[in-house]
Amino acid sequence: MATIRDIAQEAITYRFLSLDAENQLRQLLATTCQPEDLRAFCRLQAEIMEGRVTQEAREKWVQQQQEAAFAL
């Protein structure tokens, strides 16, 4: 399994965090976390908040909300 640093760096590089990668992050964060991993995760969170990395989960949620609004 990849490290938190690996997953964060890949997401930042490609500007996209997949559902699979997000689930891997949750699993890794629930176990052990090195200081370098925590820094990488914080950087990824900052990139997401600034809009430089897109989350697949958020895209799907927005799409579902839009579909529900149009169904009314």
Each residue of 10-26: pLDDT tens digit? 999 999 999 999 999 99
Decide the pairing of beta strands 54-55 and 16-17.
parallel
Tokens of 70: 């149009």
- Which distant-in-sequence residues (6+ apart) come within 8 Å of 6 by Cβ? none
**Other beta carbons within 10 Å of 41:** 18
Structural domain range at position 64: 4-71
Each residue of 7-66: pLDDT tens digit? 999 999 999 999 999 999 999 999 978 999 999 999 999 999 999 999 998 887 778 888
Report d(CA 62, CA 3) in Å as an integer. 29
